[in-house]
């Protein structure tokens, strides 16, 4: 189909295309506007290995060296802290100490999806697995590209519950890292004391005393320092107004995407409605392959008879 015919067909349908743009934008914009909004609770933390004065040298051997030059993954105690925020133990903690299960059950029972669950006898009551899935989807630790700080965000529909959950998650993750380090240091201290009592070689016993002193200093640091995994830069806080999803941004994107979609659909419809070109018969196809038609000089001579008469006069 020639391009001018295609453009002419779409231009003739400009009223229909404009109406389709209005209807589709109104439908999608209504869905965006009716989408429930959430409050975002956030806090700013930094790895304790790079911000503490004593923890850096006593709990990690080389805190400032990364495995690779461009590797920005968290490591050390802070990596364990971020992993604990999304663990099953954290989900069970929220399920036991917050009303998250009741709120999730209420939301799953509302709307068309709730009607479908009741009609097909699907599970509506939320459990710890649902809370874990929510943490995997919603909890977002984001690293600042210019500094060593991280921003941890958690959205929820209830403002107070969002702040409560983020506070409990931070306390649980920090407590877990501290407890693991204390247990590891206590086991090593007990093992070293047992080995020192049974060791007869003075040289080996002195080396064990050095290791014992290092682990005892580590226990003292963990008992005295406030944070061993994540040092809080900005305490957990929640915004005054809900901001998720970003309605103005989504409506602006729809204002660009909907017209493009409708115009492309009009082009596709015009191409599908175009009449097929007539097929050539066998005689026409053979006639097109004759030497008189395939020779460029003869084709030009047949196309311009005045040039032939001029050439004949010259001769």
Neighbours of 192 (CB within 10 A): 20
Q: Could you tell me what percent of the chain has a pLDDT over 70? A: 79
pLDDT for position 297: 54
> pLDDT of 38-90, one tens digit each?
899 999 998 887 766 545 555 554 444 455 545 566 777 888 899 999 999 99
Instruction: Evaluate the CA torsion angle 191, 192, 196, 202 in order and state its sign.
Output: positive
pLDDT for position 242: 85
Please give the sequence-ordered ranges of beta strands (E in DSSP) within 136-215, or none if there are none.
140-143, 150-156
**Cα separations in angstroms, 156 against 84, 245, 286:** 20, 11, 74
What is the arithmetic mean of pLDDT over 298-304?
A: 54
Q: Predicted confidence band at 312 (pLDDT cuts at 50, 70, 90)?
A: very low
Q: Which residue has the higher pLDDT, 65 or 170?
A: 170
The answer on pLDDT for 289 being more than 80 is: no
- CATH of region 37-86+139-185+227-244: 3.30.70
**What span, in angstroms and rounded, lies between the C-alpha atoms of 200 and 181?**
30
Low-confidence winner among 108-112, 242-246, 303-307 (lowest mean pLDDT) = 303-307
pLDDT for position 305: 54
Low-confidence winner among 8-17, 254-263, 281-290 (lowest mean pLDDT) = 281-290
- What does pTM read for this prediction? 0.71
**What span, in angstroms and rounded, lies between the C-alpha atoms of 202 and 5?**
98
Q: Which of 269, 251, 272 is nearest to 17 (CA)?
A: 269
What is the arithmetic mean of pLDDT over 132-159?
A: 89
The residues spanned by each domain of the chain are 3-28+251-280, 37-86+139-185+227-244
**What span, in angstroms and rounded, lies between the C-alpha atoms of 74 and 28?**
40
The answer on pLDDT for 174 being more than 80 is: yes
What is the arithmetic mean of pLDDT over 179-183?
A: 85
Q: Which residue has the higher pLDDT, 307 or 221?
A: 221
Helix axes 100-108, 111-119, angle to 10 degrees: 80
Under 8 Å between Cβ of 42 and 236: yes
Q: What are phi and psi of 307, to 5 degrees?
A: -65, -35
The answer on pLDDT for 258 being more than 60 is: yes
Q: Which residue has the higher pLDDT, 172 or 117?
A: 172
pLDDT for position 181: 84
Low-confidence winner among 167-176, 213-222, 255-264 (lowest mean pLDDT) = 213-222
pLDDT for position 71: 56
> pLDDT of 259-278, one tens digit each?
999 999 998 888 887 766 66
């Amino acid at each position: 189909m020639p391009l001018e015919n295609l453009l002419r067909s779409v231009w003739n349908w400009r009223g229909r295309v404009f109406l389709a743009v209005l209807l589709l934008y109104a439908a999608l914009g209504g869905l965006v506007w009716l989408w429930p909004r959430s409050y975002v609770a956030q806090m700013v933390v930094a790895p304790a290995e790079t911000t503490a004065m004593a923890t850096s040298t006593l709990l990690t051997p080389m805190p400032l060296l990364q495995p690779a030059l461009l590797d920005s993954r968290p490591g050390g105690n802070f990596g364990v802290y971020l992993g604990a925020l999304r663990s099953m133990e954290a989900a069970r903690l929220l399920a036991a100490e917050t009303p998250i299960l009741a709120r999730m059950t209420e939301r799953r029972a509302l709307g068309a999806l709730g009607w479908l669950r009741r009609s097909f006898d699907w599970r509506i009551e939320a459990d710890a697995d649902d809370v874990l899935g929510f943490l995997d989807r919603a909890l977002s630790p984001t690293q600042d590209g210019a500094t060593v700080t991280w921003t941890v965000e958690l959205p929820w529909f209830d403002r107070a519950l969002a702040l409560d959950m983020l506070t409990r998650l931070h306390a649980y993750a920090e407590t877990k890292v501290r407890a693991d380090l204390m247990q590891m240091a206590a086991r090593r201290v007990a093992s070293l004391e047992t080995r020192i009592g049974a060791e007869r070689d003075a040289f080996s016993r002195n080396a064990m005393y050095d290791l014992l002193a290092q682990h005892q200093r580590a226990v003292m640091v963990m008992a005295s320092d406030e944070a061993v995994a994540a040092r809080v830069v900005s305490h957990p806080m929640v915004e005054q107004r809900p901001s998720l999803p970003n309605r103005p941004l989504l409506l602006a994107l729809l204002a660009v995407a909907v017209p493009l979609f409708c115009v492309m659909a009009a082009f596709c419809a015009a191409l599908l409605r175009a009449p097929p070109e007539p097929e050539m018969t066998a005689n026409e196809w053979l006639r097109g392959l004759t030497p008189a038609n395939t020779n460029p000089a003869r084709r030009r001579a047949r196309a311009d008879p005045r040039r032939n008469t001029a050439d004949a006069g010259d001769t």
